[in-house]
Each structure stands twice: as C-alpha cells, then as structure tokens.
Amino acid sequence: MDHRKIEWLFLILFCLVDIYLLIELWRAPVTLTSSTSSVTTSTSLKAEMKSDNITIPSLSRKGDSGYYLATRSKSNLKEAAKQLSSDLTSSYSDSDKTLYATMKNAISLDRMTVSEFKNNGNYVPHGKLYVYAKNLSSNSSYVYVQKSQYGLVYSSLAQLVINVKNRKITGYYQTYLSDLTSVRELQTTISPWRAVTNLYTTRELPDNSKVMQVKLGYTKLTEVRGSVIFVPTWLVWIENKSSKSSSLKRVNAFNGQLLQNSTLDD
C-alpha cells in the first residue's frame, strides 16, 4: 500500500471518530440551569441523600476539563523487554499486548520497596510513568495506572500490576500505550458533585452507603475501526456501610451519563 493510500485511511478514520463523538455529545447534552435553581436543587439533593443514610465527602461544584483521546493500542514493551535484567524471566504476548515477568529469585520487601522496584528500569520498563492506585490494589497485588500528558488512564490497556507473596515481590504484568492522541479540542466537564448526584438520581447510589473517593481519569468509551476511544471519567468508589463491600461507578465527565460496565474496560 503506497503512502498516499495510508494518509487517506487515517483521514477517513479520524473523520469517523469525529462523527461518532458529535453524535455522543448531541445525544446526551448536560442540562444547564440557573444559579438559583442549582443552589436549591443542590440543597434538596443533599438533604435527600442524608435521609437515605448516604455519606459523601466535600465535593467541588466546579467542572474540570479534558479531551477525547484515541489510540490503536500501540506499545513498545516487546522491544523494551529485551533490555530487562537477567534476574527476570519475561515474555510478551502479542494477543493481549501484555508483558509478563517473573523474578527468578523473589525480592524481599525488606530489601526493596514495591515503589523502588517499579521505578527501577532494569526491572520495569517506563515504571516511572505509572501512579499507584490504592483503591484498585490489595496486599498481594499492587496496581498502578499509566500517567499520560492528558491525565491518568484507568484501563487494562495501560496498567502495571506487581504481585507480592509472603512480603516478597514475585513478578508483574504490564500494558503500556505509546500512541495516545487527542481527537478533539479541550472541553469542560461536569463537576464531581454533579457526577455523584447523577448517580443518586438514577438510583446508582444505594441507600446506606458512603462515597469513599471521586477521581477524574480517562477510561474506555468505545472502539471505532480498531481505535480505542477514551473519555474523561469521574470514577466514584462507593462502600456499603453494613457489609463494607465496595464498588466502582464510572460517570462520563462530558455528559454525566453512567458508563455501564462497572469494571475498567472488561
């Protein structure tokens, strides 16, 4: 295929992405209200949630900003794996674009912390580009999400999971996106308060619960002709006050809609 045909294919792809995103924006616009009405509604919703034994932290009423992002899930981990320490046994899976690594001799946490291991380029490629995600982690799995120039990406396509057993680092698996690009101009988002109240009014925030954290990040919206589209998302962690079980809800930060799949990606 010659160079001109490739250029035309990319042009067509980005036109299709733009058309899809325009449809999404028009399909579910964020309703704007007057400031007086907004204050009244806010006070009323807060009282209703309190009566339903729902506890929420102090949340900003101001919006943020973000982009629609696109990627074809390109990664350079296959090549990067060849430069890793001989203390590791590693393999790269082309099917799920994941690097799997196992320590030949597990590293004690008394010798090296998980954070130090993650930041050591001899063990983990691009390790310093990942940020610890406490709410996704456990004592045996330390989960890190990829940091991009646009913000944190909460996705199975951009994560690092370090395994620990008996206070020893045994290995990890990792995905990495090297081709994230914005496909539209910077846009404003709804506020974290609006995201939580949208969950409440759509019955996605149950009685007798506590909102533990609300965080802005990028998560998968859809796929268009082989490209994955990411959208700014308010991630809302909720805990049941009785059972102490927790769940994660995702709210599209542009239009306030619930993103149906509760887990990150699949």
| Domain containing residue 240 | 3-70+181-259
pLDDT (average), residues 30-51: 66
> What share of the chain in percent tops pLDDT 70?
82
Verify that 152 and 86 share a domain, yes or no: yes
Residues 79 and 55 in one domain: no
Q: Which pTM value belongs to this model?
A: 0.84
CA 185 to chain centre: 20
Q: Give domain status of residue 264, yes or no.
A: no
Query: What CATH number should be reported for the domain holding residue 167?
Result: 3.30.310.160
- In angstroms, the Cα distances linking 48 to 43, 122, 194, 201 are 9, 54, 15, 10
Write down the pLDDT at residue 201. Answer: 94
Q: What is the pLDDT of residue 72?
A: 92
- In this prediction, residue 33 carries a pLDDT of 43
Got the DSSP string for 4-32?
Answer: HHHHHHHHHHHHHHHHHHHHHHHHSPPPP
The tens digit of pLDDT for each residue in 7-28 reads 565 566 566 666 665 565 555 4
Q: Which residue has the higher pLDDT, 74 or 14?
A: 74
* Final residue belonging to a domain, choices 123, 151, 174: 174
Whether residues 162 and 193 share a domain: the answer is no
pLDDT of the residue at 207:
96
The domain total for the chain is 2
Q: Is the pLDDT of residue 63 over 70?
A: yes
